[in-house]
Amino acid sequence: MDLFNSEIDETKNLLPEGGIVNYYGRLLSPPEADHYLTYLLTAIPWKPDEAFIFGKHYVTKRKVAWYADIPYEYTYSNITKRALPWTPQLLELKQLVEEKTGEHFNSCLLNLYPTGDEGMAWHSDDEKDLKKHGAIASLSLGAERRFSFRHKQTKETVSLALPHGSLLVMKGTTQTHWLHRLPPTKRVKHARVNLTFRTMID
Ligand SMILES: O=C(O)CCC(=O)C(=O)O
């Protein structure tokens, strides 16, 4: 029996229409999640994220890193990032995520939110560099944060909490019909790291 996730139905679609989101609960035990969090906080060459929006250059307190099978270039918010090669620990996490979800991924975007003051605004992961309707698996480590979806037409919202070591998967037409965001919160004072495993097109 899975002692972490006895109440969770991984096959349930959290969205009422227009996409598929599955929540797997905790993929990692708390000690495993602590181990990977410490590794990620200390070993990843984190850099502030950047954006060019309406000609203005923004630099965020949220930090990012981009890894992949080959040096894929990923462009979002009008900035292009070139992927670093996987580390052994990131490959371990990728393998765990792939075994759990039955999906295959060739890249991973890492986000570090130093405190609850940092979040991510409403958006879809629908850039042309990504495989259309490809699965995106989101592994969360560190501070538990709320995560929300909003339907682009109906404005219906769906929210859930993402605890330390938990896994969420977005697939099908989710990015076409839904936005998602990580709202900032004054209640969270410590760091969260999120890894989104993705599929880039060659
Ligand atoms: O940190 C998160 O959970 C969300 C990250 C996100 O929305 C993204 O990488 O597109």
188 in a structural domain: yes
Model confidence over 24-34: pLDDT tens digits?
Answer: 999 999 999 99
14 in a structural domain: no
Using the 8-state DSSP alphabet, how is residue 200 labeled? Answer: B
30 in a structural domain: yes
55 in a structural domain: yes
Q: Is 96 in the pocket of ligand 1 (CB under 6 A)?
A: no
State how far the alpha carbon of 72 is from the alpha carbons of 11, 23, 34, 39, 69, in Å.
32, 28, 29, 24, 8
pLDDT of residue 3: 60
9 in a structural domain: no
90 in a structural domain: yes
Atom number of ligand 1 nearest to Cα 140: 3
Q: Is 174 in the pocket of ligand 1 (CB under 6 A)?
A: no
Q: Is 175 in the pocket of ligand 1 (CB under 6 A)?
A: no
CATH value at residue 122: 2.60.120.590
Model confidence over 118-157: pLDDT tens digits?
Answer: 999 999 999 999 999 999 999 999 999 999 999 999 999 9
CA of 21 to the centre of ligand 1 (A): 14
2 in a structural domain: no
Phi and psi torsions of 31, nearest 5°: -65, -40
- Torsion-angle region of 58 (φ positive above 0: left; ψ -120 to 50: alpha; else: beta): beta
Q: Cβ(196)–Cβ(109) under 8 Å? A: yes
Q: Is 120 in the pocket of ligand 1 (CB under 6 A)?
A: yes
Model confidence over 152-189: pLDDT tens digits?
Answer: 999 999 999 999 999 999 999 999 999 999 999 999 99
Q: Is 158 in the pocket of ligand 1 (CB under 6 A)?
A: no
Tokens, residue 122: 């409403």
34 in a structural domain: yes
Structural domain harbouring 182: 20-198
Q: Is 199 in the pocket of ligand 1 (CB under 6 A)?
A: no
CA of 1 to the centre of ligand 1 (A): 30
Coil, helix or strand for 85? strand
Q: Cβ(65)–Cβ(81) under 8 Å? A: no
Total domains present in the chain: 1
